[in-house]
Amino acid sequence: MDSAPSPMPESNFPNLDAFRPYLTVLARGQIPVSMQARLDASDIVQETLMEAYRKRDQFQGGQEARQLAGWLRQLLSCNLIDAFRTQRRDQRDVRREQMLPHSVDESAMGLDALLIANDSSPSEAVDKRFRALEVARAIEQLPDQQRDAIMLRYFQKTTLEEIASHMQKSKPAVAGLLKRGLATLRERLKKEDV
């Protein structure tokens, strides 16, 4: 008689809360400016983490953070699609829904590449690419305006003019937020390397 697979014991399952900043940055990067007042990235992330815990027996990977991050990105993509459908019941955008999983993966790669300087050595670049969780945590710790400017510019590919309009600031003010935010990120990550 076949029995249902038992869930992975709680003690063997990785700490999902360590992925919260990572998923939050990815979710924020996908929520269009027009929906940010109605959709909260932290709510979608909480739902994703709860779902991951409930479905932990379906996780096929091991203890490696990258495997778990990939699985969590898939769950996050589905939850974002559901949230977008709920918000746009009358204006369903099937093309956007189909592109969302790819877009979330692109944002994850953007986390890896965000702080890789053009003048980094190849070995430094490889080390930095595997730091997505640390980069996301550092982004989440930025002051709100710096974080929002970075999210809009680097994850949603918004122009300086659009960011300035959205944040009701001048272009030089937005450029300053971006410059200070990136400098703070680099400094925090440099301290973690020591």
Tokens of 170: 């001048």
**How far is 36 from 78, CA to CA, in rounded Å?**
18
Cβ proximity of 155 and 41 under 8 Å = no
CB contact at 8 A, 22 and 14: no
- Could you tell me which CATH class the domain 141-194 is placed in? mainly alpha
- pLDDT, tens only, 77-125: 999 988 888 887 655 555 555 555 556 666 665 565 554 443 344 445 4
Q: Is the separation of the CB atoms in 118 and 150 below 8 Å?
A: no
Give Cα 77 distance to the centre of its chain.
11
pTM: 0.69
Q: How many whole angstroms separate alpha carbon 24 and alpha carbon 44?
A: 8
User: Is a pLDDT exceeding 90 seen at residue 194?
Assistant: no
Please determine, for residue 164, whether its predicted confidence score (pLDDT) is greater than 90.
Answer: yes
Q: Residues 94, 81: contact at Cβ < 8 Å?
A: no
Let me know: does 75 contact 16? Beta carbons within 8 Å.
no
Helix 41-54 vs helix 65-87: crossing angle, to nearest 10: 120
Neighbours of 69 (CB within 10 A): 19
Determine what percent of the chain is predicted with pLDDT higher than 90. 35
In this prediction, residues 45-55 reach a mean pLDDT of 94
Question: What token pair was written down for 134?
Answer: 């640390």
- Range among 59-63, 117-121, 135-139 rated most confident: 135-139
Going from N- to C-terminal start, the domains of the chain cover 12-133, 141-194
Give the DSSP per-residue string, 100-140. HHHHHHHHHHHHHHHT--TT--HHHHHHHHT-HHHHHHHHH
